[in-house]
Amino acid sequence: MKKKELDTRLIHSHFDRQQHHGSLAHPLYQTSTFVFDNAEQGEARFAGNESGYMYSRLGNPTVTELEKKMADLEEAEEAVAFGSGMAAVSGVLIHLLKSGDHVLVSEGVYGCTYGFLEMVKEKFNIDFDLMQMSSEAAIKERIRPETKVLYVETPINPTMKLVDLKMVIKAAKEEGLRVVVDNTFSSPYLQQPLTLGADFVIHSATKYISGHGDVIAGIAAGPAEDMQTIRMTTQKDIGGVIGPFDAWLLLRGLKTLAVRMDRHCDNARFIFEKLKEEQSVKNIIYPGDKNFAQHHLAKSQMKDFGGLISFEIEGGKKAAQAFMNELSVVQVAVSLGDAESLIQHPSTMTHSVVPEEDRKKMGITDSLVRLSVGLENAEDIWQDIKQALEKAYMKI
């Protein structure tokens, strides 16, 4: 039987309603622990001789439903749900690395990922280098004998630069390296790195997977053997687990991922075209721009161009903040992928942990703002941006 399309699987995959008394919605198993029929059953489950649930840090039926669905959507053997995106990032990297190892990281990586890499470098002697990953030759030139992992964001936060996944994966495989891709900005609806040969995919599920701004969560997906090891070591012992209610909210959010992503993408296209007409806006960074240096790469490895636009405000930090302070429909907040349009100032917010010199190399200037285009009426979003630009320049 032909496998159903992704937008159908978002709603129906891996849910046997007959096992849940015919419930249309996924049940919520809001419990910390599970009762055994007898002492022998408890012994058998802890010994691994009998399947079943014991304690929600070790597994929960609602969480299992989410993990199965995310594995299906990312074409992975198995997925593990975490209490945050950074718990997923750190869980996978701790699993793959040990003291003395080295990681190559796409330049412009999320600020907290950068902070985690700095921490393990200082405490555990795990080194890393940031690079543009522009070609196979450039990558291979930076690989050391101790390099074990290529860590990639694409599109990169907040500069929207893309990494050619096929090229990076080919280079990594020839050198025996594992490839980890942060797929947060795209969601599995727009991009599926594992189908291109990546080993692991990571999401801050807080963003598009949830879509409603009410969950902190993370997802990692990859080979079953690795994911089972992560589940029973890194996650279990450090404790970055997701609660069943958050997993239930993500299952609810996933049902509308396809229609939400289509609206995000359509609205972003509209806003981009309007921004091009504004003299006070410069250096608009949007993969859907035909003049964007990597536009053709975006067309080849993404289904659509996403809901994020970064751009610079003429006049530096003062002008950028003045503009943000005049917005009313668009909310000043970090995060992305919510129903609400959100705007943030990366150099003083999400990437403030990154040293100024590194930020500038990444292209993160004090003039740069990052807009997550929401689900509101596109004309209303634009009118809010336009009036804020006009008021800001009257005040500075």
Question: In this structure, what DSSP letter does residue 196 have?
Answer: G
Query: Measuring CA to CA, how many Å separate 275 from each of 162, 267, 271, 311?
Result: 21, 12, 6, 9
* Order of all β-strands in the sheet with 178-182: 78-82, 218-222, 200-204, 178-182, 147-153, 102-106, 127-131
Q: In whole angstroms, what is the distance from residue 135 CA to residue 121 CA? A: 26
Q: List active site positions.
A: 57, 110, 182, 207
Q: In whole angstroms, what is the distance from residue 369 CA to residue 283 CA? A: 11
Q: In whole angstroms, what is the distance from residue 339 CA to residue 333 CA? A: 13
Instruction: Give φ, ψ of 138 to 5 degrees.
Output: -65, -40
Q: In whole angstroms, what is the distance from residue 242 CA to residue 60 CA? A: 10
Q: In whole angstroms, what is the distance from residue 296 CA to residue 290 CA? A: 8
CA angle 214, 215, 221 (to 5 degrees): 150
